[in-house]
């Protein structure tokens, strides 16, 4: 697995395919290969796919992951530095959950570099209800056995403390006002596709709708029965929709649902 040495952190990533660069950003505690195993092979047929493990996650350890108030912006800076290291001055991004939040911040920090965004499972601010929900799943014992086992394979005994630090990090953002990037949404200038699972238990529909309203050049597509992991649960439909949206290298494919909102 290639690595990028940066002050204070070594980022590990996979790179496959050829063509225009496409960055895949995983969710909280996630890894590039683990979160996007349904996408990497498919997209690398048309793009040069870069799938990193963010700092403190997966193989990008050490350092031990911490969550200061600006941890999303720090991750955005890491990813911009990685893509510069790889020689990609401009590129498209797919971001899931926390990866969606990082992607938007990248697009506000260096808008000229981001050609297109595909976002799902992200939230531009935090509500009291969401913080309560995260506190209720603060203990790994409250997770499904399948989800817990998948993360245990990566982090072992370190998982419990890592997840507690993450929940504490979200609580701190909420205590500081809750804005992650809602106020910055008008700064996103690139075409953006927002995907959402209507039955997402973690991210209610107000979040993709807020992002859609805030980004002028955006589309919103809803999976009526989808939850948080629509790219895993509906990989063929998900991949087809994304490939029809991305900028270069693919013959456009038809959108397969009437729930695409302008």
Spatial distance between the Cα atoms of 57 and 228, rounded to a whole number of angstroms: 20
Considering the entire predicted model, what is its pTM?
A: 0.95
Residues 86 and 197 reside in one and the same domain: yes
Q: Look-up: residue for tokens 């990037």?
A: 181
Catalytic, 200? Answer: yes
- Residue 185 DSSP one-character state: G
Catalytic annotation, pick one of 44, 60, 97, 218: 97
Catalytic, 258? Answer: no
Spatial distance between the Cα atoms of 85 and 5, rounded to a whole number of angstroms: 9
Catalytic annotation, pick one of 12, 46, 196, 228: 228
Which secondary structure element, helix H or strand E, spans residue 24, and what is its range? strand 21-25
pLDDT for position 261: 53
SS3 content of the chain, % helix, strand, coil (to 5): 40, 20, 40
pLDDT for position 35: 98
Catalytic, 228? Answer: yes
Residues 69 and 131 reside in one and the same domain: no
* Domain endpoint, select from 163, 178, 193: 178
Residues 120 and 215 reside in one and the same domain: yes
DSSP bridge partners of 5: 10
* Domain endpoint, select from 137, 162, 178: 178
CATH of residue 118's domain is 3.40.50.1820
The tally of CA atoms less than 13 A away on the side-chain side of residue 168 is 10
Residues 139 and 118 reside in one and the same domain: no
Residues 188 and 109 reside in one and the same domain: yes
pLDDT by 10-residue block (mean), the chain, 262 residues:
94 97 98 97 97 98 97 98 98 98 98 97 97 96 95 97 98 98 97 97 96 96 97 97 78 44 50
Domain range for 137 is: 126-178
Residues 95 and 214 reside in one and the same domain: yes
């Amino acid at each position: 697995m290639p690595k990028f040495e940066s002050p204070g952190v070594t980022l590990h990533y996979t790179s496959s395919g050829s063509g225009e660069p496409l960055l895949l950003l995983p969710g909280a505690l996630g890894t590039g290969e683990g979160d996007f195993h349904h996408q990497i092979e498919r997209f690398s047929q048309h793009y040069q796919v870069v799938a990193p493990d963010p700092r403190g996650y997966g193989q990008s350890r050490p350092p031990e992951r911490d969550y200061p108030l600006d941890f999303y912006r720090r991750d955005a800076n890491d990813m911009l530095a990685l893509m510069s290291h790889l020689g990609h001055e401009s590129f498209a991004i797919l971001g899931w959950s926390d990866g969606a939040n990082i992607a938007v911040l990248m697009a506000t920090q260096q808008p000229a570099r981001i050609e297109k965004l595909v976002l799902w499972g992200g939230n531009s601010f935090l509500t009291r209800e969401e913080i309560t929900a995260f506190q209720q799943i603060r203990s790994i014992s409250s997770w499904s056995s399948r989800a817990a086992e998948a993360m245990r394979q990566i982090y072992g005994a370190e998982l419990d403390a890592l997840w507690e630090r993450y929940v504490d990090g979200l609580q701190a953002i909420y205590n500081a006002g809750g804005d992650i990037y809602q106020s910055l949404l008008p700064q996103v200038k690139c075409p953006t596709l927002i995907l959402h699972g209507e039955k997402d238990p973690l991210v209610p529909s107000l979040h993709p709708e807020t992002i859609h309203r805030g980004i002028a050049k955006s589309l919103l597509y809803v999976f009526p029965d989808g939850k948080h992991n629509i790219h895993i649960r509906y990989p063929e439909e998900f991949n087809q929709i994304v490939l029809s949206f991305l900028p270069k290298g693919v013959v456009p494919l038809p959108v397969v649902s009437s729930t695409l909102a302008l």
